[in-house]
């Protein structure tokens, strides 16, 4: 009998102690680094920020592109007792300033390419502000780090993540989770159980980072990969063929992706897809946005049963769907993870039976998050010890969860509920559709009318003939009342880097708030 690969010291800090020469960053826009080298740079960052007055319990924000700096900032906060705020690089100057002020951030690290987005930040409230490149009023980070020791700081204590939502439904909310207890080495070792849940076998191979690294979902997976010895292969930005090339070149074992990326990969010509060997892939996790059934089936046919799905939010994880279970129950997002209770509730808070559609609530014995500075919104999310992130769905007789849609996106037309996600999934199977969003707009007769906003595939004319063909495509697969009564075309649809649609922005284009 052989020992389990999990029967060893794991977590970034202990791997850096036991295996300093192992690769931590296999490839990135900033180069490659071993665990020992990366740990030394992180220690330097902790010493630097401490020297400027950043204290345990403070928040440190970063506005930087994909690369090693985000990993360094996350790890520095992890060993210095700080809350880490990875800032969305698409935020406006006003949004950045609001988040920095609202969070009370004391440290800020930024790249010069985002200098214009920092113009409204009150720098007098910052203990330390550092720039990669040149930003007026910021210290150059490289020079400031150069004089700092690479040895571990004293009085190490765990920190945590402090994430602001993407703002697709209104003003971003700050979600702060309590730090894990104990020494950072022990805490990251304990956190390696995250990777175990998705079969991230320790030291089995590299992890592809192809999504925006500031996104909380992406961050959870690349840090989870580091905690089990998977070196990161970091893309500066996603390109479908480049991702396949990196998977082939580095023999990538694990990855985190969003459904939009699957769609882009499947749009590659067959000869391009066949050019690259993806047989090394073992665990590819997706989340953040709904994945059309046809897209996921085609990915599983291509890559094999390696694609895992998870549902939840930065407020907390809820379910996991293993590849084989999804094949048995297409469309499910899985069953509740260990220690989590899942319930479907009606408007009065009563629990519904299997197959009945209602609000999705989940949670554990202890509340795990707060919307910082917004006690009312925090209370509104909870019913007892369970909370909701605004989705509706149902569970089957075996306890598997199926998502119908966001509660706020549900369309009521002629007194009947229509779930846009179902209509979007059908439209996405048409060869002329590159992207799609379905929304409800006010209608005097029907209450709401169903409108599909389409980004056509290059080469297809965005005309009435295509619109009629898309409606017929829906009628062949959906009840008539679910089919769009209006088709609009756009050159592109507004999405976050996590793949979520900015439906609020689309509604505003039509004069609906």
Quote the pLDDT of residue 1: 44
Q: In which band, very low, low, confident or very high, does the pLDDT at 213 lie, cut at 50, 70 and 90?
A: very high
Q: Where in the chain is CATH 3.40.50.980? A: 32-184, 192-314
pLDDT at 479 over 70: yes
The answer to whether 88 and 166 have CB atoms below 8 angstroms apart is yes
Which helix (H) or strand (E) element contains residue 179?
none
Residue 256: its pLDDT value, please? 97
What is the average pLDDT score of the chain? 92
Instruction: Output the pTM of the full model.
Output: 0.86
The per-residue pLDDT for 378 is 87
* Predicted local confidence at residue 169, as pLDDT: 45
How much is the pLDDT for 374?
Answer: 85
Which H, E and C letters describe 413-442, residue by residue? Answer: ECCEEECHHHHHHHHCCCCCEEEEEEEEEE
The residue that leads in pLDDT, 180 or 365, is: 180
Q: Which CATH architecture has domain 411-509?
A: 2-Layer Sandwich (3.30)
* pLDDT tens, position by position, 382-432: 998 899 988 999 999 999 999 988 888 889 887 788 989 899 999 999 999
Residue 377 tokens, joined: 């919104």
Could you count the other beta carbons within 10 Å of the beta carbon of residue 343? 20
State yes or no: pLDDT of 434 exceeds 90.
yes
pLDDT at residue number 472: 96
CATH fold group of domain 192-314: Rossmann fold (3.40.50)
Token pair recorded at residue 345: 């509730």
Give the residue from 73, 101, 80 showing the smallest Cα distance to 174. Answer: 101
**3-class secondary structure per residue, 2-24:** CCCCCCCCCCHHHHHHHCCCCEE
Residues above pLDDT 70, as percent of the chain: 97
Round to whole Å and give the CA distance between 89 and 62: 9
Q: Which of 426, 390, 388, 391 is nearest to 405 (CA)?
A: 391
Mean pLDDT to the nearest integer, 64-80? 98
Does pLDDT of 239 surpass 80? yes
Give the CATH class of 32-184: alpha beta
Q: Is the dihedral of CA 268, 274, 275, 281 positive or negative?
A: positive
The residues facing 443 across adjacent strands are 447
Within the chain, all domains assigned CATH 2.30.38.10 are found at: 339-409
Would you say residue 137 has pLDDT above 80?
Answer: yes
- The predicted pLDDT at position 300 comes to 98
Q: Please tell me what DSSP assigns to residue 4.
A: P
Binned at pLDDT 50, 70 and 90, residue 504 comes out as: confident
Write down the number of H helices and E strands in the chain.
Answer: 17, 28
CATH architecture under which domain 339-409 falls: Roll (2.30)
| Residue 462 CB coordination number (10 Å) | 16
- Measured from the Cβ of residue 396, the count of other Cβ atoms closer than 10 Å reads 13
Q: Which of 259, 430, 401 is nearest to 326 (CA)?
A: 401
**CB-CB contact of 78 with 100 (8 Å):** no
Q: What percent of the chain has pLDDT over 90?
A: 75
Dihedral pair phi/psi, residue 367, rounded to 5°: -55, 135
At residue 164's C-alpha, the angle toward residues 434 and 84, to 5°, is 120
Overall residue count recorded for the chain in this entry:
513
Q: Cα separation of 308 and 333, whole Å?
A: 9
CA distance 75 to 78: 5
Hey, CA dihedral for 61, 66, 69, 71, is it positive or negative? positive
């Amino acid at each position: 009998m052989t020992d389990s690969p999990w029967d060893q010291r794991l977590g970034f800090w202990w791997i850096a102690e036991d295996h300093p020469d192992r690769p931590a960053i296999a490839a990135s826009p900033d180069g490659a680094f071993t665990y020992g080298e990366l740990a030394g740079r992180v220690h330097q960052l902790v010493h630097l920020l401490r020297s400027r007055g950043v204290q345990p319990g403070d928040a440190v924000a970063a506005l930087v592109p994909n690369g090693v700096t985000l990993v360094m900032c996350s790890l520095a906060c992890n060993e210095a007792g700080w809350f880490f705020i990875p800032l969305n690089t698409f935020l406006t100057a006003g949004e950045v300033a609001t988040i920095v002020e609202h969070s009370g951030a004391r440290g800020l690290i930024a790249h010069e390419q985002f200098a214009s987005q920092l113009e409204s930040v009150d720098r007098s409230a910052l203990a330390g502000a550092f720039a990669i490149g040149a930003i007026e009023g910021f210290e150059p980070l490289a020079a400031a780090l150069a004089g700092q020791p690479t040895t571990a700081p004293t009085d190490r204590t765990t920190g945590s993540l402090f994430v602001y939502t993407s703002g697709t439904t209104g003003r971003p909310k700050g979600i702060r989770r309590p730090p894990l207890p104990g020494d950072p080495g022990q805490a990251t070792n304990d956190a390696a159980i995250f990777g175990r849940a998705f079969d991230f076998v320790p030291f089995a191979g590299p992890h592809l980072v192809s999504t925006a690294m500031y996104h909380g979902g992406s961050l959870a997976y690349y840090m989870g990969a580091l905690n089990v010895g998977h070196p990161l292969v970091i893309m500066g930005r996603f390109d479908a063929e480049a991702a396949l090339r990196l998977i082939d070149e580095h023999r990538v074992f694990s990855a985190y992706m969003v459904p939009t990326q699957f769609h882009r990969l499947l749009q590659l010509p067959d000869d391009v897809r066949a050019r690259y060997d993806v047989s090394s892939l073992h665990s590819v996790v997706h989340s953040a946005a709904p994945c059309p059934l046809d897209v996921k089936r085609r990915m599983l046919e291509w890559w094999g049963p390696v694609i895992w799905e998870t549902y939840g939010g930065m407020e907390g994880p809820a379910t996991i769907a293993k590849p084989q279970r999804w094949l048995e129950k297409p469309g499910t997002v899985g069953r509740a993870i260990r220690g989590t209770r899942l319930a479907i509730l009606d408007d009065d808070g009563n629990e519904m039976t299997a197959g009945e559609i209602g609000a999705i609530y989940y949670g554990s014995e202890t509340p795990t998050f707060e919307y910082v500075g917004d006690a009312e919104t925090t209370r509104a999310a909870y019913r007892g010890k369970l909370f909701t992130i605004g989705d509706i769905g149902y569970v089957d007789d075996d306890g598997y969860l199926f998502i119908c849609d966001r509660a706020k996106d549900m369309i009521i037309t002629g007194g009947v509920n229509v779930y846009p996600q179902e209509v979007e999934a059908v439209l996405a199977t048409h060869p002329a559709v590159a992207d799609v969003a379905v929304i409800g707009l006010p209608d005097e007769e029907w209450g709401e009318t169903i409108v599909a906003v389409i980004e056509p595939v290059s080469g297809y004319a965005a005309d009435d003939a295509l619109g009629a063909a898309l409606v017929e495509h829906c009628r062949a697969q959906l009840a008539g009342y679910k089919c769009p009564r209006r088709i609009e075309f756009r050159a592109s649809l507004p999405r976050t880097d996590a793949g979520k649609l900015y439906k609020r922005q689309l509604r505003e284009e039509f004069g609906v708030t």
